[in-house]
Chain A
């Protein structure tokens, strides 16, 4: 269920949210676990954020402040969404969509944060190396970007703001990294890792570079990257060692792939790319920086 309301007075937002969740009743306990600021560059971004929040909310009851820079007057709309689980219990999230000038936006967002709860910033699109990005990043313990949108340079710019940074594209690589690591889980295959000099990747550039960066940093060796293909998603990762080929390849468009290890029967691997909202939800579960990601990014 949900309720909506609009205002130009941010001081009225708390009362509107209270009304949206049906008022404070005796014994009611509001369970909110975090603040999420979403920088949405335009109306499409707001829509994408609202859709993602509908999926994130059940696992992370939160207050989302969706901020959009505009030329017009300050305007806020308020909504509360609740979800009922299998046990017929209900969790609720709050959403405030704020439009304001870029200079006014950080103060508007600050006034809407729930005290004493962690703050995350999800920055959509290209990461601006400007005042707005700096001020919003300063509010957040963790900044979430997508190198598929902002490139690895954008991720590096977010890191320069000083906080912990997450990349949704890196998060989406997890099943692939797991499958690639699985090629070398056996004692004899571990030795083959020492002789790997190059990785061939069919897939987008940012993911290919992150894959190569991960291998270089994890194996502490120079590994060449050969990339091909124009697809939006990773299709294949191949490595050669001692004249033998180790391979993970997606099967069609499905969630499954095949792993090939010399001398063994090919086996299925789960290459499910979770939806963006699930990736975001996972990133909201941690506050600290992801050391592996940072090392992979530096080596990419």
Chain B
């Protein structure tokens, strides 16, 4: 177990500065620095943070991987990665300064390699005044996580002179048992508050806007409960198929890929109680409480599907079973629809219907809160026959915004009420460039703000919610749905038996 993290001495000149940025000198260590994630996401994100002036003045990156590179070749590698994947173009002038921050150490993920890395880190501390503060980012396949963390513990990289944090990418296990095993290994070297489990979905501005919408506006919260809400629909639709990730997808399927992490995170943000403060623990406490109140998924309340061939947005799409490297008898679900129930005072009796899938009609993530009908409509029956219940839709992507559906009088001689939508698009109020999710999350890890990272209790509870279904779905076959549709027929039946129907996003 690591010692309690030491707080750096306060600098009185720092008051009021770097609001939103990081100031504590830090070395950022990337394990697997020559890999895909580092190239596509981490290095471009770090570059953009530097350009935005949000990284500490005394900051260094040390890439660690087996690939044989020196500082110069790593800088060239990083430059190529930033040129290809950064959301902003490379500024030659700034690059020269940024490149000085980049270092590389080649080695294996073992004690011998990590001892050399430790020496290198000490040398950087001495020259750059980074004070022994470290963020270790595990940008490797999950199978290396235990190996790396154990070797870090054995070589005391987990106990630097300053503060140590470790960032771990999902998946956090593949079921409850493996999630606990992984946590046990990591907890031998790091305390829970030093562990940053990254789910890039939570770094999206749009997901964070759910907080702002719910807790910065007094008019919605009073009706955000089972007295007024009939049900909630959460949709995470992808138009793409598995592409070249069949091997990965065969191991995961839609439940592990989307539901256990992204979707349950969005679900918990929508349904959680207001936190006492916008800080890591109050927010994570409320999310964990909500997940604890959520009943595990059951076979009778869930539908699985697998895409067949069809057309998506006018383009022909192959069936899942015809994708490269997919076994012909695969029963991996690419679609799920399920009814979630929350056993608490606010939501008892109000179902949350979730659906997620690949090769759906379009790419969309949204939360639709459907309100109950008015208790009495004082209008002639034929005047309200086209009137739908009120609905509030939080569109997360694309075209982030809020849509409110309500009834209005149609300008006709006879009384007729129609349903109208009032749309608000965030892009119509703010044109500011939106940072990449990885920029937000890397900065938070450097700052030591765990708000957007997943705590172990939530990870375990999420597995407890989905595990029963995963176990039951090991056998049998999913219903095939045409690519480009909104899923299998059984998904419609799931709602129709409750007298409801899916919204068309």
Contact = CB atoms under 8 A, between A and B. Distances in A.
**Are A and B interaction partners?**
yes
Give chain B's interface secondary structure class.
loop
A61 interface: yes
Contacts of A89: 399, 425-428, 431
Contacts of A115: none
Given A87-B427, A187-B131, A180 B399 contact: no
A264 B124 CA distance: 10
B127 A218 contact: no
A179 B431 CA distance: 29
B15 A218 contact: yes
B17 A181 contact: yes
Contact of B58 (A31, A90, A174, A186): A186
A113 to B, nearest CB: 19
Interface residues of A, number: 49
Given A259-B57, A265-B127, 15 more contacts: A27-B421, A27-B422, A27-B423, A61-B429, A178-B18, A178-B23, A178-B53, A178-B57, A184-B13, A185-B25, A190-B11, A193-B11, A264-B58, A264-B127, A268-B97
A11 to B, nearest CB: 28
A270 interface: yes
A269 B94 CA distance: 10
B396 to A, nearest CB: 13
B380 interface: no
Interface in B1-60: 8-18, 23-25, 50, 53, 56-58
A178 B129 CA distance: 16
Contact of A264 (B97, B129, B422, B424): B129
Contacts of A182: 23, 56-58
B329 interface: no
Which residue, B23, B58, B398, has most C-beta atoms of chain A within 10 A? B58
A185 B17 contact: no
A219 interface: yes
Contacts of B12: 190, 193, 218-219
A219 B25 contact: no
A181 B14 contact: yes
Contact of B25 (A58, A179, A186): A186
Nearest to A258: B97
A70 interface: no
Interface in A173-206: 174-175, 177-182, 184-187, 189-190, 193
B433 interface: yes
Contacts of A185: 8, 11, 14, 23-25, 56-58, 129, 131
B120 to A, nearest CB: 15
